């Protein structure tokens, strides 16, 4: 059974930082592309960042690439999202996902976690 479990969310003031983690089990993690998506209230789930199995050329939503960094540790079956200089508009539920291609579309990912809430106060 595939499980993706996010952690590290919480309440932070604007300008602060958070590091999200995604723990994967039940799949050959090193063979999967991984992605982070987020969904704010009343909005569609949107792409944040993605990383290939071999950690070549991570992809980011343009507006986030200067503040967010995606990484993974294939030995530990873990993926991370370092978020710096957080803004109130970053408030959302953040989801990790596993798929065959490190693309911005949710359709590329077959496995999803339950999400972790990130709230940025002004």
- State the pLDDT at residue 58: 86
Cβ partners under 8 Å of residue 7, min gap 6? 20, 21, 22, 23, 116
- State the pLDDT at residue 62: 86
| pLDDT over 80 (residue 110) | yes
d(CA 43, CA 47): 12
Neighbours of 13 (CB within 10 A): 10
What is the per-residue pLDDT across 23-81, written as a single tens digit (0 to 9) for each?
Answer: 999 999 999 999 999 999 999 999 999 999 887 778 888 899 999 999 999 999 999 99
Residue 82, H or E segment: strand 78-83
Query: What b/e string do you get for 42-53 counting C-beta neighbours within 10 Å, with b at 16 or more?
Result: eeebebbbbbeb
What is the per-residue pLDDT across 83-102, written as a single tens digit (0 to 9) for each?
Answer: 999 999 999 999 999 998 89
């Amino acid at each position: 059974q595939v499980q993706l479990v996010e952690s590290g969310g919480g309440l932070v003031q604007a300008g602060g930082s958070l590091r999200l983690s995604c723990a994967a089990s039940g799949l050959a993690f090193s063979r999967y592309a991984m992605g982070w998506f987020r969904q704010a209230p009343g909005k569609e789930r949107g792409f944040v960042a993605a990383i290939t199995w071999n950690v070549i050329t991570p992809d980011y939503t343009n507006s986030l690439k200067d503040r967010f960094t995606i990484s993974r540790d294939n030995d530990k079956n873990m993926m991370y999202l370092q978020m710096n200089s957080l803004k109130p508009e970053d408030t959302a539920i953040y989801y990790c996902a596993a798929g065959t291609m490190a693309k911005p579309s949710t359709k590329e990912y077959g496995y999803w976690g339950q999400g972790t809430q990130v709230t940025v106060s002004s």
